[in-house]
Structure 1
Amino acid sequence: MAGEIPDLEVEARAGTGKGAARTARRNGMVPGVVYGGGADPLPIQIPFNALLKRLKAGRFMSTLQNMKMEGQDDVRVICRNVQRDVVKDLPTHVDFMRLRRTTKINLYIPVEVVGEEVSPGLKKGGVLSMIRPEVELVVTAGDIPDHITIDISELEIGENVSISSVNLPAGAKPTIDRDFVIANISAPSGLKSQDDDAEDDAPEEVEVIGEEKEGDEE
């Protein structure tokens, strides 16, 4: 199961409609609504600065949130829409969807690496490059993994680990249909430079045309 799910502090919003939304904005709040999960829509509001900070951090719409509101039970939600001012590009309204345990959602799951201490490629001086330190997966809300694991214990220089070689948690699958690389081991920069220099120093082959041999003259 997922470990740390970020809390999202919200407040109940009195009334609905444009008038209530304008009042919320004047008070430094962003109006919103929570819907789905077999319950009635719930009007809410979020402090503008807190929401803007989350949006700037990135992946707000693909991050599971633990919504906390006074007088209500905590509920897991995911953002489904952020309306923005067309001129200032600042949030003016936000929609959240309640999640049931069986709900399928897209989330970025961190990648954990094992086998680094015995990897032959690393022992030879290779460099591990994480192409995707996180992988976007379709997962079930009630069974979200902390991470996925890749094993590089047998990886040589020039080899990689792709998503097809990873044992994904039950019910999870990548959002990308094609096979893609998660990490690879590349040659150290010093070795690459030596190889390049060796190619530069290699003697050029010169074709000799019309060379006469002794004894051929009449």
Structure 2
Amino acid sequence: MSENKIAAVSRTEFGKGAARRTRRAGLVPAVLYGHGTDPVHLSLPGHELLLALRVANAVLELSVDGGKDQLALAKQVQRNPVKGNIEHLDLVIVRKGEKVTVEVPLVVVGDHASDGVIVMDQQTIALLVEATHIPADIEIDVTGLEVGSTVTAADLKLPSGAVFPGEPGDLILSVSAAPSQAALDAELAGEAGEAAAEESEEAGEA
């Protein structure tokens, strides 16, 4: 879990123009909701928020207008596609002991058979976990796995209290045979042929 103390200020101006002014001031517009409360529009310090959201599923300890601290889970983060800075954030109120469903990154560790390649069926896994005990990632140890081996949800080592809500047999990854050089050459030749055919068609149409 990543938990960070951040001072938030409530916003009274809305719309695109107000959001742009907020960002120019080095702040990030955000919305806080959950537990039956009315949505609260906030401004959060951009630099502190960027540091806090370096990990997935960050839990923030917010103090709104200097009031009582409350925990909030970063639910939806909108980033600038070019600069990467945060443009807007949706936050969900959480409480200690409460369980939430989050997407946790999967990380492959260990060395598998040298003649195989890892094929990931999914890059993250949905877990039901306590809001204040969200793992940063789930490691998949592929040490010694041979070609043809598979890893399912049932094979994952989940932290205490974490539950996978899907089927135990859901495929996570498999080890496939590495393509031969001949196969790679044939694929490249095929792509080159397709490109040449497209160029020929375009020239004919011209």
TM bin, normalised by shorter chain, reads: 0.5 to 0.7
- Does residue 182 in structure 1 map to residue 205 in structure 2? no
- TM-score, scaled to structure 2: 0.57
- 1:96/1:156 CA distance change after superposition, 3 Å: same
Q: What is residue 102 of structure 1 aligned with on the other side?
A: 97
Partners of 2:116 and 2:178 within 8 A in 1: yes
Partners of 2:154 and 2:169 within 8 A in 1: yes
- 1:153/1:33 CA distance change after superposition, 3 Å: closer
- 1:74/1:133 CA distance change after superposition, 3 Å: farther
Q: Deviations over 1:116-160 (max 9, x none)?
A: 1xx4xx14x111233333222111112222332323234210111
- Offset at residue 100 of structure 1 (A): 1.1
Q: What secondary structure, in the 3-state scheme, does the structure 1 residue paired with 2:14 have? A: helix
Q: What is residue 207 of structure 1 aligned with on the other side?
A: none
Match of 1:165 among 140, 143, 155: 155
Q: What secondary structure, in the 3-state scheme, does the structure 1 residue paired with 2:180 have? A: helix
Counterpart code for 1:163: A
When Rg is computed on C-alpha atoms for both structures, the one with the higher figure is 1
Q: What is residue 27 of structure 1 aligned with on the other side?
A: 21
Deviation >6 Å, runs of 4+: 37-41
Counterparts of 1:165 and 1:104, CA distance in 2:
22
Match of 1:12 among 9, 30, 37: 9
Counterpart code for 1:44: L
Tell me how large the CA RMSD over aligned residues is.
4.6
Equivalences, count: 170
| Alignment map for 1:1-218 (pairs within 5 Å) | 2=1, 5=2, 11-13=8-10, 15=12, 20-22=13-15, 24-25=18-19, 27-28=21-22, 32-36=30-34, 42-46=40-44, 63-66=57-60, 68=62, 71=66, 75-79=70-74, 95-116=90-111, 119=112, 122-123=113-114, 125-177=115-167, 179-190=169-180, 193=183
Answer with 106-115 or 164-173: which moved more.
106-115
Percent of paired sites with the same residue? 27
Partners of 2:152 and 2:171 within 8 A in 1: yes
Q: What is residue 84 of structure 2 aligned with on the other side?
A: none
Counterparts of 1:156 and 1:28, CA distance in 2:
54
**Higher strand proportion, which one?**
2
